[in-house]
Structure 1
């Protein structure tokens, strides 16, 4: 699985629309096609993704996860859950976006096991909804 790196890639995927939501996350997806099958050549958003396959990116605003430790823990969970998906993610570019914060009263530690379990459970639910 490839990772999104450029701002243009993230913007293209997020403009494609949301395919699934949970209480804290939203999943954006942009289907990818081989350049020869669409007739686009090197034009259009397909040029942003040179390798046809599954692409993944994560957007975690500081507004919803203030501490870097929390953002990094969530990113690791997103990439781990997306890699372990059965069946694998479709040939598309995906962005998981944090759309609300986790309660500090419920998870006082920025990188607690309880927070990681909650994030993992919600991500599994998100990918399940996207596959349905």
Structure 2
């Protein structure tokens, strides 16, 4: 099963870890855990009311550093994928959507991914001189090939352990 990471608290938990693998354009982060339960998110993100001398209330947010305890890797089942494709690296929405589709497809093609939370982050832009069209077949093929290498590097140590 491949799910999507949607809550900011889950992105923060995964991106706080060092990248597991990097390529020229992408970084891959992993956390062997399940997404935070919705009750935890509501409790952490709910605004607390602080009394002021003027009688007006001002929202005070609780700190994000208090993440839920990490679960043992044996209890984690399923794979959740989060995508970070910033506008500063892919100016056109067509390009951002193309890259997101390619990332999801790359994960769908590899059923043997270790369970947990995965975040793929675009860390540098593709050269516009080389790929002038926002949704060209050349850009699609280049992104797919780079993502395949990135995921293969993560699966390679695991394949060696099984052999």
TM-score by length of 1: 0.84
SS at match of 1:90: coil
Task: Give unpaired runs (5+ residues) of structure 1.
Answer: 34-42
Q: C-alpha offsets along residues 12-59 of structure 1, whole Å, 9 cap, x if unaligned? A: 1111221000000000000127xxxxxxxxx4355xxxx831110110
The answer to whether structure 1 residue 89 and structure 2 residue 90 are counterparts is: no
- Structure 2 counterpart of 1:123: 147
* Matching residue of 2:13: 12
Partner Cα separation in structure 2 for residue 17 and residue 7 of structure 1: 18
Contact 2:33 2:70 in 1 (8 A): no
On the 8 A contact 1:54/1:91 being kept in 2, the answer is yes
Q: How does 1:1-132 map to 2 (within 5 A)?
A: 1-32=2-33, 43-44=68-69, 52-86=77-111, 88-132=112-156
Kept in 2: contact 1:27–1:130 (CA 8 A)? no
* Counterpart-to-counterpart distance in 2, 1:72 and 1:44: 33
Structure 1 moving runs of 4+ over 4 Å: none
Q: Which has the higher contact order (CA 8 A, sep 6+)?
A: 1
Contact persistence 1:31–1:92 (CA under 8 A): yes
Separation in 2 of the partners of 1:57 and 1:9?
9
State how many pairs are aligned. Answer: 118
RMSD: 1.5
